[in-house]
Structure 1
Amino acid sequence: MTTILVTGGTGTLGRLVTERLRGKGHEVRVLSRRTQPYAVDLRESGPGLDAAVAGVDTIVHCASTPRGGDEQAAANLIRAAHKAGVAHLLYISIVGVDRVPFGYYRTKLAVEQQVERSGLGWTVLRATQFHDLLVTLFQALSKSPVILLPAGVSDQPVAVAEVADRMAELAAGGPAGRVEDMGGPEVRTLRELAHAYLAATGRRRPIMNVPLAGQAYRDFRAGGHLTPERAVGKGTFEAYLADRFATGPRK
């Protein structure tokens, strides 16, 4: 079995990828900013990062933040991977990063390009948004008396556990380049998804669709972030909600 480093290994996706790889018998190192023995901020290169990467066969790069710094983090990781002779760098990205000019998407696309030009063996998987992200969004929006949603926008949420399964499969194999996208089982309007969230949590809120301006919004409306031809996920949003809120709403 191989030695695999999972960056962002305590996050929503990274934690599950780590569990699956360990279950298959791989030696897995978890890198995050606060988890020893590999507590490393990827935005800062140094001996801690070199130690985390030393002797690693494959890196699964899940660490990311919309607050900025992903490109610097990727550059530092790639440099360390070259020094250590890492054979395979696997990166998780988002469906539509090349079609929707949204700030965070542009960053994810830039990191994809860094990975592809890295000179390392590489794999990139793009997935649609996780169920968890929609719940976080609706939790925030439902704090107001009215839920305001961007008019005409749909989503195709996917179960993070299914993406973790695919990532673990790819990590155990060799570099595969850009693999086929992974989307959730259904394309649903945000209004439908918000109603499902309200029903599952016992909340009552009116929903108002609001038209927005800008090219990113127009491309979201056009479905640039969707992949209906790759609706390979099985778990629906309602199934996720039923499991998550089975014992009542969580704060």
Structure 2
Amino acid sequence: MANRKSSLAKSRSSRSVKQSEAQARKRRVRELLLENLEQRQLLAVGPQLIGIQPNTSDLLTDGSVQTVSPRELVFRFDDAQQIDPNTVAGIRITAAGGDGSFDRFSAESGFGSNGEASIQLTADVPGQGFTVNVSTGDLGAGAAPAISISGSTIAVTLNSNPTSPTTANQLVQAINGSPALLGKITAQLLGGDGNAPLGQRPANEYSPILLTSNNDRQIIPGAVLVGDAPDENEVRVRFAENLPD
């Protein structure tokens, strides 16, 4: 009987040791997996931009507007970084177009005014494009231009009535006041005579009008320099010529 008890105790002790060893191996595997995951996460995180310092003012903040164009911008990344000079081509500086905003598609047209007026159409939502089909028709004396929209296609019919053809100002007012185009596009008289009659040329000469590109332009710097020690986390961008204010 004593031998059987001793044998059972040894068996239980052996199983306990094996279970402990198995649990230890599992813990070690989990630790290795976590270490590898942390290393991959560290490798996946690139340089973190801390701030941008122009030579003309304090640090830039999101949405800030500068009234004086800088000659130089200093990009500062987190202290742990040593920027590779071969990667600085990834920094791109873009200037807004004439509409003063980024990524909003716009187009300019005289709407058949024989060069007497210029109207700019601008999409209200960045990245959203439209096709504007323009036609003419006698809508009656004093009638406003007809406007409708289907998806991303806008139809505009200019009044060709001899006594009251649609003028540039009337078209701008009609587009900006149209419930169908609310939040879609806006119109602006860029130049010329607001009273100039539109639709004086065949519509196929100025229609369709495509709002599928913007006026943003990329600025090519004169030099892009990585800082010397201990400022390897800085990238200095110098412009080759004065930027417009």
**TM-score of the superposition, structure 2-length normalised?**
0.21
Query: Which has the larger strand fraction?
Result: 2
- Indicate the structure whose relative CO is greater, using CA pairs within 8 Å and at least 6 residues apart: 2
